[in-house]
Amino acid sequence: MAKDLNEQAHEILKLAENQKIEQDFFFKTTFRRYQVQLKLLNDLEKEIKESGLTITKEYVKGRQNLCSNPAVGDYNKTADAANRTVTTLMNIIIKLQDAEPLELSNSDDDSDL
C-alpha cells in the first residue's frame, strides 16, 4: 500500500529528529516550503484533470478560442521549483549531519529582514 504525502512527510521529520536537525531554521523553512509546493502541485493536478489540457476562452464579442490550460504551465513551474527545493533540502540534511548547530543571534532588531 502506498503511503500518502503526510505519512512520508512525518517519516522525513522522524529522520530529521534522529539526526537532531529538525529544529534547524533552514531545514524547517525549506521543509515547510516543500510541503506547500507539494500541496500546490496536488491542487493543480486536480484542476488539470477536471478542466483538461485545453480550455475555451471567450472574448468580448462572444467568440471562443481553444487554448492551453494555464494550470499546465503553473504545474510545470511549481514542479521545477519543488525539485530545486528538495535538492536544497537534501543538501541541508547532508551538511547538517556533520555540522555543529548554527547559533543565531537573539536580537530583537529584525529591520534587516
pTM of the model: 0.74
Confirm whether 112 is domain-assigned.
no
Q: Is the pLDDT of residue 13 over 70?
A: yes
Give the number of domains in the chain. 1
- The phi, psi pair for 67, rounded to 5°, reads -145, 170
Question: With bands split at pLDDT 50, 70 and 90, how would you rate the model's confidence at 1?
Answer: very low
Confirm whether 104 is domain-assigned.
no
3-state helix, strand, coil in the chain (%, to 5): 60, 10, 30
Per-residue pLDDT tens for 70-111? 999 999 999 999 999 989 988 888 888 776 655 555 555 555
CA atoms within 13 A on the CB side of 64: 4
Per-residue pLDDT tens for 43-57? 999 999 999 999 998
List all residues 6 or more positions away from 58 whose beta carbon is below 8 Å from its beta carbon.
64, 65
Confirm whether 1 is domain-assigned.
no
Mind giving me the DSSP string for 55-76?
EEEE-TTS-EEEEE-HHHHHHH
- The phi, psi pair for 65, rounded to 5°, reads -140, 135
* Residue numbers of the domain that contains 79: 11-98
Q: Which long-range contacts (CB under 8 A, 24 or more apart) does 103-111 make?
A: 104/25
Per-residue pLDDT tens for 17-37? 888 888 889 999 999 999 999
